[in-house]
Amino acid sequence: MRQNDEETLNSLYNLILDPATREWERSLLSSIKNALENGANFDEQLAKLEADLRPLALRNNLTPNVADFYNHMTGHAAADVSFDFTKHAIDDLTYQDSAIFAGGCFWCMVEPFETLDGIVSVLSGYTGGHVAHPTYDQVSGKYTGHVEAVEIIFDTRIIQYADLVKLYWQLTDPTDEFGQFQDRGSQYRPVIFVKDKHQQQIAEKSKQQLADSGKYKQPIVTSIEPATVFWPAENYHQQFYKKNLTRYKRIERARQQFLTFQRLQSKLRTELSRFTKKQG
């Protein structure tokens, strides 16, 4: 759906003022805004802006809010869907609870949880850092100490926190403290953020059981840390698996191939151990 002229100008103003907008993006947006204010043809200027942004858009290298603007401008409806942040809230203190997990790129952490029965909402965001209102560029640049994570609101009548922890282990590589899969860096380290003693006890017990299982040859390095402020990521990142299905499937496939290989190694190691014991 094409924005009208006034909406487009407002969007340009907001993006220019947005501290998360990169300088080269801001210069392009400012140039178009000035031309429009001076009476330039609207369609021609938008076409020029689309052409200037296209090379970076095709490489998925625009900042999130500029990417949203580009998708809206070009009619990419699926990627332009806005996440309703107001609905991500606990509205029933008796039967709802929340959990926070970090396990690499948050794009691949949403669908597995969101499609479970009893899940109210899953939000991608940043946590564990020391800067308020961090942007994607800041977190990616390792300037804030945050990790990419998901916050899950769930109905305790249908699903329990222990169930979420169990699924979390299946989605991540708990032996890799320097990132997850193809995602490298401290912003991708695996962490279970616990909000209270109850969650901490469940997470620690589950982690110990995993370590005792002998499934992994290397130590379990996933950390369990107190939950801190969870900052929502930009709209572009919310429910990425729905907005950018092709790219999501490619990334998810690579993760699953690694996990499948890892599980096969574990199975072979277990079988070898059993065989050795029998021979002894």
| Residue 184 backbone phi and psi in degrees, to 5 | -110, 145
> Annotated catalytic sites, by residue?
105
- Cα(136)–Cα(60) distance, integer angstroms: 13
- Cα(177)–Cα(185) distance, integer angstroms: 9
CB-CB contact of 75 with 3 (8 Å): no
Grouping H, G, I as helix, E, B as strand and the rest as coil, residue 162 is helix
CA pseudo-torsion sign 190, 262, 216, 182: negative
CB-CB contact of 252 with 108 (8 Å): yes
Q: Where are the beta strands (DSSP E) in the chain?
A: 96-102, 119-127, 147-155, 179-180, 183-184, 191-194, 223-226, 230-232
